[in-house]
Structure 1
Amino acid sequence: MTWKVEAEKWLNQEDLEVALKQQLMIEENNKELMEDSFYKNLSFGTAGLRGELGFGTNRMNIYTVRKAAQGLAAYIASCGEDAKKRGVAIAYDSRHYSPEFGLEVAKVLGHNAIRSFLFDELQPTPLLSFAVRELNTFAGVVITASHNPAEYNGLKVYGEDGGQVTLEAATAITTHTENIEDLFSVKVAEEAYLLEAGLLTYLADEMSERYIRRLDGILVDGKLAKSLSIVYSPLHGAGGKLVCRGLREAGFSNVIIVAKQGIPDPDFTTVKSPNPEESKSFELALVYGHKTAADLLIATDPDADRMGVAVRDLKGQYVFLTGNQIGALLVNALLEDKSNRHALPEDGMVIKTIVTSELGKAIANKYGVKIMDVLTGFKYISEKVLEFEKTTESTFLFGYEESYGYLIGDFVRDKDAVQASVLIAEVAERYKKKGQTLLEGLYELYEEHGYYQEALESITLKGQIGMTKMERIINYFRSDSFAREFPQPLASVEDYAVGHSTSVETGEQCSLNLPIADVLKFKLTDATWFALRPSGTEPKIKFYFGVKGETKVESDELLLKLKEAVMTVVEKIISNS
Structure 2
Amino acid sequence: MTWHQEYERWDQFRHLDDKVKKQLDGLKGDEKALEDHFYKTLEFGTGGIRGEIGPGTNRMNVYTMRKAAKGLADYVSSKGEEAKKRGVVIAYDNRRMSKEFAVEAAETLGANGVKAYVFYELRPTPMLSFAVRHLNTYAGAMITASHNPPEYNGFKAYGEDGCQMVPADADQLIGYVNAVEDELSVETGDQNELLSQGLMQWVLDDVDEAYLQEMKAVIMDQALIDEMGKNLSIVFTPLHGTAQKPMMQAFDMAGFTNIHSVKAQAEPDTEFSTVKSPNPEEHSAFELAIQLGEEVNADLLIATDPDADRIGLAVKNHAGDYQVFNGNQTGGLLLDYLLRKRKEQNRLPENGMVIKTIVTSELGRKIAESFGMNSLDVLTGFKFIGEKIRQYEQTGEHTFLFGYEESYGYLIEPFARDKDAIQPGLLAAEMAAYYKKKGMTLYDALLEMYKTYGYYYEDLISYTFKGKEGSEKINKIMDTFRQNVATGNIDQDVVAVEDYKTGKRKDVLTGAETAIDLPASNVLKMFLSDGSWYCLRPSGTEPKIKFYVGVNGDSHEESTARLAEVKATLIAKAEEV
- TM-score range relative to shorter protein: over 0.9
**CA-CA distance at 1:564 after TM superposition:** 0.9
String of CA shifts for 1:490-523, please: whole Å, max 9, x gaps.
1100000011100010011111111111110001
SS in 2 for 1:343: coil
For residues 204 and 330 of structure 2, the distance between their equivalents in structure 1, rounded to whole angstroms, comes to 33
- Does residue 150 of structure 2 align to residue 146 of structure 1? no
SS in 1 for 2:488: helix
Moved more, 171-180 or 54-63: 171-180
The answer for the alignment partner of 1:531 in structure 2 is 535
* Aligned-residue offset at 1:110: 0.2
Look up the match of 2:226.
224
2:26 match: secondary structure: helix
CA contact (8 A) 1:107 1:188 kept: yes
The aligned runs of 1:337-416 (5 Å cut-off) are 337-416=341-420
Aligned partner (choices 268, 286, 289) of residue 285 of structure 1: 289
CA contact under 8 A between 2:481 and 2:490: conserved in structure 1?
Answer: no
Q: Following the alignment from structure 1 to structure 2, what is the Cα–Cα distance between the partners of residues 281 and 481?
A: 37
**Distance in 1 between residues matched to 2:29 and 2:258, nearest whole Å:** 55
Post-superposition offset of 1:480: 3.3
Which residue among 451, 456, 459 is the counterpart of 1:455? Answer: 459
The answer to whether the aligner puts 1:432 opposite 2:436 as a matched pair is yes
Q: Give the structure 1 partner of residue 163 of structure 2.
A: 163
Asked whether the 8 Å contact 2:235–2:289 carries over to 1, the reply is: yes
% of aligned pairs identical? Answer: 50
Pairing 1:107-126 to 2, within 5 Å after superposition: 107-126=107-126
CA deviation map 1:409-463 (0-9, x unaligned): 1100000000010011111111111111111111111111111100001111111
CA RMSD of the aligned region, Å? 1.0
In structure 2, distance between residues paired with 1:464 and 1:140: 31
Equivalent of 2:421 in 417, 422, 437: 417
CA deviation profile, 1:549-577 (whole Å, cap 9, x unmatched) = 1111111111111111111111121xxxx
Matches within 5 A, 1:78-97: 78-97=78-97
**1:371 & 1:168 partners in 2: Cα distance?**
24
Structure 2 gaps, min length 5 = none
In 2, the alpha carbon distance for the partners of 1:99 and 1:484 equals: 52
Aligned-pair distance for 1:487? 4.7
Counterparts of 1:372 and 1:56 in 2: how far apart (Å)? 42
Q: What SS does the aligned partner of 1:493 have?
A: strand
Residue type matched to 2:267 in 1?
A: I
CA distances 1:518-556 after superposition (whole Å, capped 9, x unpaired): 110001110100000111222111110000011111111
User: 4+ residue runs of structure 1 moved beyond 3 angstroms?
Assistant: 480-483
2-side partners of 1:472 and 1:315: how far apart?
44
The separation in 1 between residues aligned to 2:192 and 2:491, in whole angstroms, is 66
Equivalent residue letter for 2:347:
A
Give 1:481 deviation, angstroms: 5.5
- DSSP 3-state at the match of 2:549: strand
Residue in 2 aligned with 1:12? 12
| Conserved 8 A contact 1:271-1:281 | yes
Offset, 1:313: 2.7
Deviation per CA, 1:307-352: give whole Å up to 9, x if none: 0011123443101100000000011011111111111000100000
Contact 1:149 1:273 in 2 (8 A): yes
- Aligned pair count reads 573
Cα-to-partner distance string for 1:261-320 (whole Å, 9 max, x where unaligned): 001000001111100111111111111011111111100000000000111234431011
What is the rounded CA distance, in whole Å, between the counterparts of 1:259 and 1:488 in structure 2? Answer: 53
Q: Give the Å deviation of 1:228.
A: 1.0
What's the CA shift string for 1:64-97, capped at 9, x where partnerless?
A: 0000000011111111111000000110000000
Is residue 2:495 matched to residue 1:491? Answer: yes
Q: Distance in 2 between matches of 1:37 and 1:570?
A: 29
Q: 1:506 aligns to what?
A: 510
Equivalent residue of 1:479, what SS? helix
User: Is residue 293–residue 316 contact of structure 1 (8 Å, CA) maintained in 2?
Assistant: no
CA contact (8 A) 1:114 1:199 kept: yes
Query: Counterpart in 2 of 1:477?
Result: 481
Name the amino acid aligned to 2:340: E
Write the deviation string for residues 198-228 of structure 1: whole angstroms up to 9, x where unpaired: 1111112221111111111111221515121
1:308 correspondence with 2:316:
no
Q: CA deviation at 1:392?
A: 0.8
Corresponding residue number in structure 2 for 1:43: 43
Matched, 1:254 2:262: no
In 2, the alpha carbon distance for the partners of 1:36 and 1:369 equals 50
Alpha-carbon distance in 2 for matches of 1:245, 1:327: 23
